[in-house]
Amino acid sequence: MSISSNAAPRSPFGFVGRAGRAARALTTAASALALAVGALAVAPVPAHAADPITTQEYFSYYHLDSARQKGYTGKGITIALIDGPVDTSAPELAGANIVDKSRCTIEDSAKGIRHGTDMATILVSPYTGVAPDATLYSYQLSNNSSISEGTCKNDGKRLNSFDTLINQAVEDGAQIISISQGTGYLGTAAKWAIANAIAHGVIIVASAGNASDNENTTHLGRYSGVVGVSAINTDGTFASYSSWGNGVVTAAVGGPFNTLDENTNQPTTVQGTSMSTALVAGMLALARQKWPDATPNQILQSLVRSGLNPNHDWNEKTGYGAAALGSLVNDDPSQYPDENPILQKQGGSEPTPDEVADYADGLVSPTSTVDLPDSYVYRGADDQVVLYQSDLKNEIHLGTSPRYHRK
């Protein structure tokens, strides 16, 4: 699908720019989102294994040079990356502020390490990172490509499950969590981990998948409050490899991304919603830096209200439309209501708004579920909970819920 405007690209920090032209290409008709797009060409990267990769197409697409000139670098923001281990010795990450916060260590494959390192590169590389001055906390997640779970499996219990890592990232003070991994089936612990993040104002960004199919049930985007991300091409069309579903909130460029082959260490390019997800997480970091007084809810309001679909209407392919970095850093989000706009996904999602509210107010009884985070404090009025206190991992402060004191 070709770009519909012949105007020269202009920076999104003052004008419509290339992203705006891409939006028009993306949204001229609803059917355009269903077009099958050919695979992106694989081009050699002019770099040696020992040299940093210093060019990425998304960097010019999103005018990140202009963002840096204006001081939008993610300084003061903490991003959590839940993925494979990050190789901090990669030349692209020299000088980046990356801290491995994992409580255990996995034995990962070269593929898993490459993936984690690539996500960190998109987020905080001094060369091509969206938010090069942000602090990145990395958490090692094992998956089917891992060699073993190492010390992350203890007495049959997995210590680096999605819910555990999300809760740890919230506890560690992350403001944004980037997850470019499929999940498969997750129990109720994931629901309460999501509620924990929402209650603490932590924005979770998650990939939609790369199966050219509706993968809503196997990715974190299906949960309330999670920013599900699909992929577009650099001409603005919906990427043929990208999955979609009711959890999608926005989209971003999925490639080509310059990297090294995990087996040969030779230059290659890859594509996928993983890249799109890290890009959106980085953009949100810039927005949080620029607007420190805005609430996370207002940042999310800005994201959906600036989506590049016509009238920001939602669809299952690109959500409210491709993310517009210029709008996120230029438009004051404090003009929007302090309400989470994605707390209920299309067709329903969990945790429900009532569950999130009950969690935030300490009214979810720990006797009704064993899946609450350890940090959760019960503040309700059910004195029967005290009878089970010795068997519970959560603190109990009866009758202290802020709901009891609201007018």
Quick one: average pLDDT of 42-54? 58
Same domain, 378 and 274: no
Q: pLDDT by residue (tens digit) across 361-381?
A: 999 988 877 788 888 999 999
Shared-domain flag, residues 204 and 274: yes
Q: 181 and 110 share a domain?
A: yes
Asked if residues 383 and 263 have their Cβ atoms less than 8 Å apart, the reply is no
Find out whether 290 and 68 touch, Cβ atoms under 8 Å.
Answer: no
4 in a structural domain: no
- CATH code for position 148: 3.40.50.200
User: What is the per-residue burial (b if ≥16 Cβ within 10 Å, else e) of 295-323?
Assistant: bbbbbbbbbbbbbbbeeeebbbbbbbbbb
Q: Would you say 107 and 74 are in contact if contact means Cβ atoms under 8 Å apart?
A: no
Q: Which domain holds residue 37?
A: 17-335
From residue 30, alpha-carbon distances to 178, 220, 246, 315, 318 in Å are 29, 25, 16, 9, 11
Does the pLDDT at position 45 exceed 70?
A: no
Co-location of 121 and 168 in the same domain: yes
* Location of structure tokens 């996120």: 328
- pLDDT at residue 3 tops 60: no
Q: Reduce the DSSP state of residue 182 to 3 states and report it.
A: coil
Residues 151 and 45 reside in one and the same domain: yes
176 lies in the same domain as 27: yes
Residue 249 vs residues 17, 134, 142, 297: alpha-carbon distances, Å:
22, 24, 26, 14
Domain-located, residue 7: no
Question: Could you read off the pLDDT of 215-236 as tens digits, one per residue?
Answer: 999 999 999 999 999 999 999 9
Indicate whether 71 and 177 sit together in one domain: yes
Query: What is d(CA 313, CA 284) in angstroms, rounded to the nearest whole number?
Result: 20
Whether the model clears a pTM of 0.75, i.e. scores above it, the answer is yes
Condensed to tens digits (0 to 9), the pLDDT of residues 56-71 reads 999 999 999 999 999 9
80-126 pLDDT tens trace: 999 999 999 999 999 999 999 999 998 899 999 999 999 999 999 99
Task: Judge if 131 and 253 occupy the same domain.
Answer: yes
Are residue 367 and residue 236 in the same domain, yes or no? no
Q: Is residue 260 part of a domain?
A: yes
Q: What is the pLDDT of residue 405?
A: 86
Structure tokens belonging to residue 144: 């089917």
Write down the pLDDT at residue 159: 85
Query: Mean pLDDT over all residues of the chain?
Result: 87
Residue type for 326, please? G
Closest CA to 62 of 144, 136, 131: 131
Indicate whether 299 and 176 sit together in one domain: yes
Q: What is the mean pLDDT of residues 275-299?
A: 98
Residue 38 lies in a domain: yes
Q: Helix crossing, 188-199 with 353-360: angle to 10°?
A: 60
Q: How many domains does the chain have?
A: 2
| Same-domain status, 251 and 380 | no
Residue 269, beta-bridge partner list = 258
Same-domain pairing of 217 and 114 = yes
